[in-house]
Amino acid sequence: MITAERMAAVDENAAALGVPRKQLMESSGNAVAAAVRRVADPDDSVALVCGRGNNGGDAFVAARFLDDYDATVHLLGRPETISTDIARENWTALERAEYDSRVVRDSRDLDLGAPDVVVDAMLGTGVAGALREPERSAAAAINESGATVLAVDVPSGVDADTGEAAGVAVDADHVVTFHDAKPGLDDWDVTVADIGIPETAELFAGPGDRRVLTRPGDAHKGDFGEVLVVGGGPYTGAPALAAQAAMRAGADLVRVACPRAVAREVQGFEAGLILRPFDGDRLTAEGLDHVRTLAADHDAVVFGPGLGDHEATLAAVGDFLADYDGRAVIDADALQVVPEVETEATLLCTPHQGELRGMGGPSADDWRARLDAVADFAADIGHTLLVKGAYDVISDGADARANRTGNPGMTVGGTGDVLAGMAGALLSTQEPVDAATLAAYANGLAGDRIVDRQGYGLLASDLLPELPRALWGGRDE
């Protein structure tokens, strides 16, 4: 099953892998024609009723595969208003090649004739809300035609994610949908057509995974959350890096809870950090009330950077998790506590492979085998895992993803703290598996860009100014 939003992300990832959408449209159109053949007799007449988006484009392509039928293409609206280049190019091809293609300027002009089969290619997954004119009248005409109706991707007017229609919708006999089943189409007779999207477009993080983020231009305060970093004690750079990464990843507000003994040092890394220190030189049961009160006021907590592995600290981490029910990224020494504690919290754990073994998790040399094993382990512990490596593997037990951005220059200390902080910012608004995927992708991409520019010799702090562009940079970079 795939949602419309995820489908758009996968489509963008496929394009980044070198399989552009126009190629997918050719496959979709071919699949639509094959579906027409299954329901039409050789002498049947076929009316293809097309909207101005890519759903219509699929039917323009299909027409070229239906030369042996009496087929007519009806475009709802003027050709100049076709909304994508690839759909327009396919429309122009129909006109030049002298297909029976008709422009319907007004819903009253739609004359379907008496077709045996109607292909409904008005609107697909790109649409929200009730059908507007001329699509609304066209849907009524299709429903009254008595023809066998084959819908392209989704019956026009129906929401592919929910199966609900906000108003008039096409009453389809069959649906040919692309790549994977859609959650809302259970009640229809659906054929899923493989359109040649590589498996790795779905598996590997890519530019499409950034679509879950609000673009900076449209962003408002409050679109992102407030993040609390709990760290520091034996180390001071780690919580500072994590907090700065959360800020660079767009968090509305980031605060750091660290031991008072190291607060000045942590502050010294960046004047803009907001510190909320607790007494002592490391986290122990004593600091816990303070941390609990703070955590309750934040959308996500990043737990672990620089905390160290003192017995009292690990016990405090366990006590915290035992009665925390919010969202948290768990990194570094805090990770070993996770398998031992019962918690209502939603955790995103970010171990490297050694830390994963320390959690009692699996090890495998081959990344695909590791992905399967990590998915099982994530299901076991009931939390999301992002296991860092040359190929990062990510799973919440249901979804499994991998990331291959990043380079050997990033084995330097601190890059994991940057990843954890960014993951915390993303976790405050996104599903854990999406936050993990995007954090891994952007962290690696930032590192790749630095190494492309200057070669190895990268510092973790070099990543920080690169993060915004890695998260929001041009879609086609």
Q: Which residues are annotated as a binding site?
A: 54-58, 120, 124-130, 153, 156, 238, 306, 352, 416-417
Q: Burial letters for 427-454: b for 16+ Cβ neighbours within 10 Å, e otherwise? A: bbbbbbbbbbbbbbbbbbbbbbbbbeee
134 binds, among ligand NAX, K ion, none (CB under 5 to 8 A by kind): none
151 binds, among K ion, ligand NAX, none (CB under 5 to 8 A by kind): K ion
What's the number of CA atoms in the CB half-sphere (13 Å) around residue 319?
15
Residue 123 or 423 with smaller CB distance to K ion: 123
* Strands annotated E in 41-194: 45-50, 70-76, 101-104, 117-121, 148-152, 174-178, 190-193
Residue 49 makes contact with K ion by CB under 5 A: no
CB of 86 to K ion, least distance (A): 17
Q: Residue 73: beta bridge partners?
A: 48, 101
CB of 304 to ligand NAX, least distance (A): 38
Residue 156 makes contact with K ion by CB under 5 A: yes
32 binds, among ligand NAX, K ion, none (CB under 5 to 8 A by kind): none
Judging by DSSP bridges, how do beta strands 190-193 and 226-230 pair with one another?
unpaired
**Cα dist. 152→15, 172, 437 in Å?**
21, 10, 31
Residue 10 or 300 with smaller CB distance to ligand NAX: 10
> Helices then strands (H, E): number in the chain?
15, 16
Residue 21 or 174 with smaller CB distance to ligand NAX: 21
DSSP for 330-381 reads E-GGGGGGGGG----SEEEE--BHHHHHHTT----SSHHHHHHHHHHHHHHH
Residues that bind ligand NAX (CB under 6 A): 7-8, 11, 21, 24-25, 28, 51-58, 83-84, 123-127, 129-132, 135, 152-153, 178, 195
Task: Choose the stretch contacting K ion; rule: CB under 5 A; options: 63-71, 86-94, 146-154, 217-225.
Answer: 146-154
Question: In 3-state terms, what secondary structure has residue 158?
Answer: strand
Residue 60 or 320 with smaller CB distance to K ion: 60
Residue 152 makes contact with K ion by CB under 5 A: yes
Picking from 334, 331, 285, 295, the residue whose alpha carbon sits closest to that of residue 314 is: 334
CB of 452 to ligand NAX, least distance (A): 29
Dihedral-angle region of residue 391 (phi above 0 means left; psi in -120 to 50 means alpha; beta otherwise): beta
Rounded to whole angstroms, the Cα distance separating 120 from 114 reads 15
Could you tell me where the DSSP H helices lie in 65-196? 85-96, 135-144
List, as residue ranges, the binding site for K(+).
Answer: 55, 120, 156
Residue 192 or 364 with smaller CB distance to ligand NAX: 192
Task: Choose the stretch contacting K ion; rule: CB under 5 A; options: 147-155, 181-189, 315-323, 378-386.
Answer: 147-155
Residue 58 or 462 with smaller CB distance to ligand NAX: 58
Tokens (6 digits) for 280? 């002592």
CB of 124 to ligand NAX, least distance (A): 2
Residue 81 or 363 with smaller CB distance to ligand NAX: 81
CB of 117 to ligand NAX, least distance (A): 18
Q: Which secondary structure element, helix H or strand E, spans residue 255, and what is its range?
A: strand 253-257
Tokens (6 digits) for 146? 């008595």
**Given candidates 14, 40, 48, 151, which one binds K ion under the rule CB under 5 A?**
151
CB of 25 to ligand NAX, least distance (A): 4
Binding site for K ion (CB under 5 A): 120, 151-152, 156
